Structure 1
Amino acid sequence: MYIDRLKNAQRVLRASAGYRGAIDGKVGSKTLASAWRVRGVDALEEILGPLAPDRRVVLAAQVILDGAGFDVGVLDGFWGPQTDAAFLAWRGEAMPFRQADMAEKFGPAGSARCTAGVVRVPWRMVLAWDGAEQITEFKCHELVAASAQRAFDRIAAAYSPVQIRDLGLHLYGGCFNYRTKRGGTSLSTHAYGLAIDFDPARNRLKWGADRARLAQRDATPFWQAWEAEGWTSLGRARNFDWMHVQAVAL
């Protein structure tokens, strides 16, 4: 997870400090150069003392997030839970993904590409609304299938079959579905095959972390598997729709 945190810091630097290198979790010359450009880091280093390169990179990301109004906790160059929460909130708010942007990147909603990718489920999964119908694989957008497969495989390695069922990860709520957002007029990310829902009954759209099953602590490895692949949880970013994970940022 250490590399994942540096990748997230690089994502912040790419958005706000001119970083143009790879999102690879490596502190190279381009990453450091962008970190040096963030105003306020030098002053903090005078207080904190000399910083290792990776800590300077994290501190630069913290300064950016804090300046954007996201609470990272102490500005210390250590990526802890508060910085992680701030990053997720920033990612959800900073990337609204206009319909035109998604169409430009992924092609038209409902096109053949939206169902050209195949993900094979490594545990017993059934339709959330019909437990008699088993799901061994499902279709998604061709550009995100590989990352989704890696996330599924990582989740299968993290949990036992009993834990999978307890979390409700065996209850498939759908992926591709050409429809508008609930209560809205713009197309859902499901219309592009870029979103997956799990256990809708226990993670309802408007439920927050106080009620949603996938907001509980034992679901953290599940979300981390998706975040490691660049997918976003609306629950962790905005505290609603905890059933839903989407890949519009890839």
Structure 2
Amino acid sequence: MQRYSVIPGHHARELVLLKGGPCAWGRCAFCDYIRDNSTDELLCDRVNASVLARVTGQTGQLEVINSGSVFELTPGTMAALRRVVEQKQIKKLYFECHWSYRHRLQEVRDYFGVPIVFKCGIETFDDDFRNRVLKKGIVYDDLQEVRRYFDSVCLLVGIQGQTKEMLDRDVKILLEHFPLGCINVFCENSTDVRADAQLAQWFCQKYAHLQNDPRIDFLTDNTDFGVG
């Protein structure tokens, strides 16, 4: 398991994959990532301490991911992370968290005292596909509600049942309403969700230019960030 990397490019940053507690939602149909979770806090803290020790502060920015949300990191890991932010002079943090935590984001800002980019795995702006098929449990009244809480949204593309029109609409909304975004091409795993290789190929060809867009992280493989 690779748990540390440096992401080059427009938003160069170090990235750590930490071990957290069980995902509070834990029902996404496509996700087997939560197998990295553990209820053993001492184990989590031990693993995470060795990962955080690799952070150098070389870019001034650090992205922290875990198989869930930032709120599922242990108190010990959060304290260790705050020490790293202070000692390595980290100027900006990136965290991902589930929609259900949207009212608690200020707690994290107050805890670290540096600007934070919060990312949310919306996966698609098609409400039916997002909740009935992907089981995301994300319901909102309008896009401004999402933008109010999150600076960046993650899209998941290339799944059986998606259409070209659906993906076109997702990209259009992302680019028009959010300053940052992450596009992930779905890679089959141990879940029952199946990839649509032809749709993914079409998408990657049509939107290849987004790989050079400073607003977008475009991941064609789930280890493109250098961890996993």
Q: Give TM-score scaled by structure 2 length.
A: 0.22
Larger helix fraction of residues: 1
Q: Which structure has the larger Rg over C-alpha atoms?
A: 1
Larger strand fraction of residues: 2
